[in-house]
């Protein structure tokens, strides 16, 4: 995707507190990693482990942390900022606006909008969308093949990508981003075993997402059995995540891919659930807790707890256990030698 940015424009975007070292007179026409960037590209140092790559980078402009001390090469500009990764994100956000023009306002002729639905005149409703009876759609963007259920509500400035389903009565807050094929308001998984069969328990609640929530592709958030499944302000949910009925997630949480949260569990604010982690049902996870990738959590956690492993052990304890496990083969060998020595001594004493 072609673009051209002057150094002045870059500095306007990354902020007035940026510090410049070196000189580059041209424009930026590409973005590349430190090792792959060429002349005319912009790069950045977001992770300290790549620090040694900066000196050899061919990028014309490099975003660096404030503590970077080396000097740039000739015809190269270093821009030092507090957070290079976020500075790059600001640049990409600006680029995104030009690379992806705003959606056209209006309802596509192939879309179906129920006569009892209310759609903002500032909304963009794409091809083959469905908006059900009594639904209210604000100044949002609905791409192709989006389904909005009966009496659902969609907040202003929300962007719903193609093939998303928002179920009946669900409420999507302002400035949400729902990635392709996610499902908001699928039935919660509820059954009672009666008379030799699993009988379905109706799930008559809804899902409520607050402001600035992101939901990844192919993620499912189940409607509540009754009441609401709630996703708090600023929470970001990755792809392929399962959130069960009546879960309540606090503000500014990070829920990473392939993780799952069982029914009626509550997450406080700022919780991090890493990839493929699982949390059992009816638990309370305290504010700021961090659950490592692949961990299983069968019990509630205090605020700021850090756990890992299949039974959700404290992280430092689990790390010690892992170190000790590696020593087990050697310990068994030593134990075997001690056991044989004791047996030998016992035989000698027996035979006088």
Residues serving a catalytic function are 245
Strands 242-243 and 220-222: parallel
Identify the three-state secondary structure at position 88: helix
Angle at 48 between CA 47 and CA 51, to 5 degrees: 110
Element (H, E) at 346: helix 315-350
341: left (phi over 0), alpha (psi -120 to 50) or beta: alpha
Pick from 182, 154, 190, 157: nearest CA to 170? 154
Pick from 29, 171, 38: nearest CA to 91? 29
β-sheet bridge partners, residue 254: 236, 272
Element (H, E) at 125: strand 124-125
Element (H, E) at 335: helix 315-350
Question: What CA–CA distance (Å, rounded) separates 37 from 22?
Answer: 18
Question: What CA–CA distance (Å, rounded) separates 147 from 169?
Answer: 13
Identify the three-state secondary structure at position 24: coil
β-sheet bridge partners, residue 260: 242, 278
Strands 177-178 and 214-215: parallel
Check: CB of residue 199 under 8 Å from CB of residue 216: no
Nearest-10 crossing angle of helices 84-99, 7-14: 120
Question: What CA–CA distance (Å, rounded) separates 9 from 16?
Answer: 11
């Amino acid at each position: 995707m072609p673009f051209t940015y002057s150094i002045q424009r870059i500095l306007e975007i990354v902020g007035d507190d940026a510090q410049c070292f070196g000189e580059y007179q041209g424009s930026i026409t590409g973005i590349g990693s430190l090792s792959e960037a060429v002349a005319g590209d912009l790069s950045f140092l977001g992770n300290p482990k790549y620090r040694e790559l900066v000196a050899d980078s061919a990028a014309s402009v490099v975003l660096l942390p404030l503590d970077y001390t080396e000097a740039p090469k000739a015809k190269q500009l270093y821009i030092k900022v507090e957070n290079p990764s976020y500075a790059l994100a600001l640049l990409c956000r600006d680029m995104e606006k030009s690379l992806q023009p705003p959606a056209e306002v209006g309802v596509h002729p192939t879309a179906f909008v129920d006569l009892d639905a209310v759609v903002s005149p500032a909304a963009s409703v794409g091809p083959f969308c469905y908006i059900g009876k009594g639904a209210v759609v604000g100044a949002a963007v609905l791409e192709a093949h989006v389904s909005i259920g009966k009496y659902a509500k969609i907040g202003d400035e929300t962007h719903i990508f193609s093939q998303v389903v928002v179920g009946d009565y669900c409420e999507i807050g302002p400035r949400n981003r729902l990635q392709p094929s996610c499902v908001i308001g699928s039935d919660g998984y509820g059954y009672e075993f009666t008379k030799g069969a699993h009988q379905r328990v109706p799930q008559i609640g809804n899902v409520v997402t607050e402001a600035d929530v992101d939901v990844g592709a192919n993620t499912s958030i189940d409607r509540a059995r009754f009441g609401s499944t709630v996703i708090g302000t600023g929470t970001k949910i990755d792809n392929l995540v399962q959130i069960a009925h009546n879960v309540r997630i606090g503000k500014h949480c990070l829920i990473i891919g392939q993780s799952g949260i069982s029914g009626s569990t509550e997450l406080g604010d700022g919780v991090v659930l890493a990839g493929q982690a699982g949390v059992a049902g009816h638990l309370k996870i305290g504010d700021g807790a961090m659950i490592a990738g692949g961990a299983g959590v069968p019990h509630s956690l205090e605020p700021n707890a850090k756990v890992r492993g299949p039974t959700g052990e404290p992280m430092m304890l689990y790390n010690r256990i892992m170190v000790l496990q590696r020593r087990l083969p050697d310990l068994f060998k030593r134990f075997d030698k001690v056991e044989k020595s004791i047996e030998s001594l016992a035989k000698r004493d027996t035979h006088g």
